C-alpha cells in the first residue's frame, strides 16, 4: 500500500483517526495545515476543495475530514450551523449555544462527516452520520481525543452520557446506529489495494 497523509489542523482528530487506521493495520502520516475554506454551506464541496489544497501542499495521496453539525430546531434557522460549525463559533463557545437553546425542548441534532481522499487524479468521498441530542449543560472531563468542544454537550442516540463523559469503550460500543466516514474509507482502501496486490 502507498503511504497516505492525513491533513488537519486538529491534533485531537488525528489521534482518534490514527487509532482507527492502526486497528485496520494501516499506518498514516500526519501533516498539520490551516486550510482556506470556501464560504459555502456544502460539506462535500468544502471537503473536495480542502483535499485539492492538501495535495498541492504535500504532493502525494491525501485525505481530509470535514464535519457539519446540524441542529434540527435551532431558533429561526433549522439545521444551523451545518458546514459553518467552525466559523459560526458554536464549537468553541458551547455555553453560548446552550443559552441560545435554553427554551428549545426538542434538541435533536446530528453530525455529518465527509472524508475526501485525493490521489492527484480522482476524488473519492465517504460520508457518516451520528445522531443525538444536545444536553442542557456542559458535561464531562477534558479529553485529548475530543474532536470538538461539542463532545461536552452531544449525547448520542440511545445514550444518556455526553461523548466527553463516556469511556473509550463506551464510545466505541455505543448503540446509536451511527455510520462512520473513516471506517467506510478504510474498508474501501483495503479492498482497493487487496485487488491491486493480486
Catalytically active residues are: 66
Cα separation, 96 vs 32, in Å, equals: 29
Beta partners for residue 133, in sequence order: 108, 155
Among residues 64, 88, 79, 90, the alpha carbon closest in space to that of 8 is found at 64
Query: ∠189-61-35 over CA atoms, to 5°?
Result: 115
- DSSP label of 13: H
DSSP single-letter state for residue 143: -
Strands 123-134 and 108-118: antiparallel
CB 130 within 8 A of CB 111: yes
Amino acid at each position: 500500500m502507498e503511504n497516505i497523509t492525513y491533513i488537519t489542523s486538529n491534533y485531537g482528530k488525528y489521534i482518534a483517526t490514527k487509532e482507527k487506521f492502526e486497528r485496520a493495520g494501516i499506518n498514516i502520516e500526519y501533516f498539520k495545515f490551516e486550510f482556506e475554506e470556501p464560504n459555502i454551506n456544502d460539506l462535500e464541496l468544502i471537503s473536495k476543495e480542502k483535499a485539492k489544497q492538501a495535495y498541492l501542499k504535500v504532493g502525494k495521496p491525501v485525505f481530509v475530514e470535514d464535519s457539519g453539525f446540524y441542529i434540527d430546531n435551532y431558533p429561526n434557522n433549522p439545521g444551523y450551523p451545518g458546514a459553518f460549525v467552525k466559523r459560526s463559533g458554536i464549537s468553541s463557545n458551547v455555553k453560548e449555544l446552550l443559552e441560545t437553546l435554553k427554551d428549545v425542548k426538542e434538541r435533536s441534532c446530528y453530525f455529518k462527516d465527509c472524508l475526501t481522499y485525493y490521489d492527484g487524479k480522482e476524488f473519492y468521498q465517504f460520508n457518516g452520520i451520528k445522531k443525538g441530542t444536545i444536553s442542557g449543560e456542559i458535561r464531562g472531563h477534558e479529553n485529548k481525543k475530543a474532536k470538538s468542544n461539542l463532545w461536552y454537550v452531544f449525547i448520542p442516540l440511545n445514550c444518556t452520557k455526553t461523548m466527553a463523559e463516556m469511556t473509550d469503550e463506551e464510545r466505541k460500543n455505543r448503540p446509536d446506529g451511527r455510520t462512520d466516514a473513516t471506517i467506510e474509507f478504510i474498508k474501501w482502501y483495503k479492498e482497493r489495494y487487496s485487488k491491486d496486490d493480486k
